[in-house]
């Protein structure tokens, strides 16, 4: 999640116990900096699906919020790339402990 976005939205941040590096799709480290903060858990809602996510804080003004590969692997989504839609989100993820229904 973009640092400036967290400031404008008044999202609480906490320091990570140790810094981390995020890599982009080709395994290069992200250009911003080492990750030293994360957001408070934020409820993310997509249709009937919701979960709480603590986001790593980076400088990313063009992409304010990014869901990373670990999140997609955890939820194992069915994505229709042509329609740009996520299918069966609730059914595929309901056994995950991070998921709750509203």
Rounded Cα–Cα distance for residues 95 and 84 (Å):
24
pLDDT digit string, tens, across residues 51-74: 899 999 998 889 999 888 888 888
Domain total in the chain: 1
pLDDT tops 90 at residue 100: no
Q: Mind listing the pLDDT tens digit for each residue in 5-23?
A: 999 999 999 999 988 887 7
List, in sequence order, the alpha helices (H) in the chain. Answer: 3-8, 69-75, 89-93
Is the pTM value of this prediction over 0.85? Answer: no
SS3 17: strand
Determine the structural domain holding residue 46 and report its residue range.
3-100
């Amino acid at each position: 999640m973009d640092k400036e976005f967290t400031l404008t939205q008044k999202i609480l941040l906490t320091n990570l116990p140790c810094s981390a590096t995020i890599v982009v799709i080709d395994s290069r480290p992200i250009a911003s900096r080492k990750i030293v903060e994360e957001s408070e858990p934020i409820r993310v809602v997509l249709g009937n699906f919701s979960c709480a996510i603590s986001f790593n804080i980076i400088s990313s003004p063009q992409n304010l919020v990014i869901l990373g590969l670990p999140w997609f692997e955890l939820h194992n989504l069915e994505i229709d790339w042509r329609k740009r839609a996520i299918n069966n989100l609730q059914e595929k993820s309901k056994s995950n402990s991070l998921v709750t229904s509203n």
